[in-house]
Structure 1
Amino acid sequence: MTPPARRRAAARAQSAVALGGGHGLHASLQALRRLVADLTVDELAAVVTVADNGGSSGRLRGEFGVLPPGDLRMALAALCGDDAWGDTWARVVQHRFAGDGEMRGHVVGNLLIVALWELLGDHVDALDWMGRLLGASGRVLPMALTPMDITAEVRGADPARPDELSTVRGQVEVATTLGAITSIALDPPEPAACPEAVAAIRASDWVVLGPGSWFSSVIPHLMVPELRSALVETGARVVVVLNLVAEAGETGGFAPEDHLVALWEHAPDLIVHTVLADPRSLPDREGFAAAVASYGARLVVADVAVGDGTPRHDPDKLAEAFRTIVEGD
């Protein structure tokens, strides 16, 4: 095995930024945290979607007018270490209350984040404090500083009218819609990006997009003008991690190349360096490779699934794939 010091000297990457939300971003961050541990990557940041309107996050957003904290909390938990401190705090912040009272369904980490926002009055400062408490191996940043909603144009949301276009509003509603999503938009339409998130992207060596809910977690970053400009203008190499399966509701019926088409329809000037895909997600590997090449990107195919039949990325396998991409460039 190559010693960490030599791996670091050989690798071009010094910093990485992962964009997304929910379980997909959680998996990417768990993998990238391993690259921080072995010195392949020096600095790591997450830029997180802030449009959730359901569950504990939606309730706190509605009551206090704050950003929905849930995806931010999950990102922080993913960056916790494997030691007793990190493992304990990751479980604490992810703990969801049971019972039959008003606290049912709330998550400890969501409450801690909102409390820090109220006490400190600054979204980023509060998340940095939370990261220090957890011993997180990176920084977590919201993609914007005001709550927003996702709207989607959907064809055939009403099965009785398969060709009719309608508008669906809200992240939960978009994620579970019937019919085919043709485009998404944000409300407000041009939210101000988090300045620290923009700076992190512009200063990074690698940017990771996906995996995750394509229209409600990944593509929204491309709809924030300052973030999209940063992604287009950065000198970083952009890696797109393909989902293992099409997601019922958002991308039902999508072929692998349809995910790429959706990205470029929303940001046609985005330059992608690498597309990472699991071989089991590619029914037509040769055709997909040609599609990737037509966009000027390279395809890396690697076993990154947990292997138990569920469509989940394995953080250790994903880390090894990221390491191969970073060190092999």
Structure 2
Amino acid sequence: MKDPVPEPADPSDPDHPRDSPAYGSTPRSGAAPASNGPKVVALGGGHGLYASLSALRTVTDDLSAVVTVADDGGSSGRLRRELGVLPPGDLRMALAALCGDDEWGRTWSEVVQHRFRSEGDLHGHAVGNLLIVALWELLEDPVVGLEWVGRLLGAHGRVLPMASVPLDIQAEVELDGAVTTVRGQVACALTPGRVRSISLLPPDPPACPQAIEAIEAADWVVFGPGSWFTSVLPHLKVPELARALHESSARRLLILNLVPQAGETDGFSPERHLEVLREHAPALLLDAVVADGAVVSDARALEKAAGAMGARVVLADVAASDGSARHDGPRLAAVLAEIFRAKR
């Protein structure tokens, strides 16, 4: 049985966690265990980041997720608008992905992902979203609140927001020859037109300092898979974060999506995903691009696009065997482990 998480003190109590010497550090007792595997930072959000984290947590003990904070729909959007907090949904999903495969991990993963079904105001809210926001209000620090949730879940890694303030995604969209601007993650994801480029509002948001530190100390930085314009590219539009990604000595790996995403990347080939990434971050170099061989129709075109960013292509069977458009965790983990050990 794991040690229970101490109940947070009343904010007015002088012994409240935010006033303790340990506040701002990982709320765990004892010395940190020795790390196995490289220091890895995974970037993204939503189901794509969930897939990469589910694989990465079995490959390394030193894992940090840097998560987009631009969601404006569903439970996250409601909490963001009502309470002025960072949207917690993508952060919650990242924490759920880091839960272990034991009974404790499986149970808590299901709990935080559970959504209420009712005729009242709680309808659609995820339990994990409410838990995260409650800790934010008690502790008055998003990063420390996420650490406490991670401790409760027994998370195999750390989850960090990519910025310290909520963001809006703004996209230039082309439809029938006309270019319009749409604002908001939901609007960008559902637009019937072709997204040409994105930007963030505010345009120069403060990056999460701990995210910068994690990237600077990383051995590997992993991009994707995920919604290209709303989960992958936004990290490169936060100036401080982009600078750290460009200057870090870490090697960089990109996991390509298995299929285009309706409304965002309709008709995109694997190589077009890389071309769009390069258009948004011309100076960014990659070391490896992982793609499922079954979805690559023109390997030479993909190799050319990857080579333009300094990367080699690793073709592997990483798709789920049930035919769905999702990555298989163990298969992806095996490929990533080989790449990290320089065996692939």
- The TM tier, using the shorter chain, reads over 0.9
Secondary structure at 2:43 match in 1: strand
Alignment pair present for 1:87 and 2:87: no
**What does residue 26 of structure 1 align with?**
50
**Whole-angstrom distance in 2 between the partners of 1:174 and 1:294:** 28
Secondary structure at 2:149 match in 1: helix
Alignment pair present for 1:15 and 2:76: no
Equivalent residues in 2 for 1:28-107, closer than 5 Å: 28-35=52-59, 41-107=60-126
Question: CA offsets, 1:135-167, max 9 Å, x none?
Answer: 1010000000101100000010xxxxx111000
Aligned partner of 2:89: which letter? G
Shift of 1:310: 1.4
Structure 1's unaligned 5+ residue stretches are 1-7, 36-40, 157-161
Once superposed, which parts of structure 1, at least 4 consecutive aligned residues long, lie more than 2 Å away? none
Shift of 1:291: 2.3
May I ask how many residue pairs the two structures share in their alignment?
310
Secondary structure at 2:301 match in 1: helix
110-119 vs 300-309, which deviates more?
300-309
Higher relative contact order (CA 8 A, sep 6+): 1
Structure 2's unaligned 5+ residue stretches are 1-33
Shift of 1:14: 2.3
Shift of 1:294: 2.9
Alignment pair present for 1:139 and 2:163: no
Secondary structure at 1:166 match in 2: strand
Decide whether the 8 Å contact of 2:172 with 2:195 is kept in 1.
Answer: yes
**What does residue 296 of structure 1 align with?**
310
**Whole-angstrom distance in 2 between the partners of 1:292 and 1:271:** 9
Secondary structure at 2:123 match in 1: coil
Aligned partner of 2:114: which letter? H
More helix per residue: 1
**What does residue 3 of structure 1 align with?**
none
**What does residue 250 of structure 1 align with?**
264
Shift of 1:261: 1.1
TM-score normalised according to structure 1 size: 0.92
Shift of 1:256: 1.0
**Whole-angstrom distance in 2 between the partners of 1:71 and 1:211:** 14
Alignment pair present for 1:239 and 2:258: no
Aligned partner of 1:210: which letter? G
**Whole-angstrom distance in 2 between the partners of 1:322 and 1:177:** 33
Shift of 1:42: 3.4
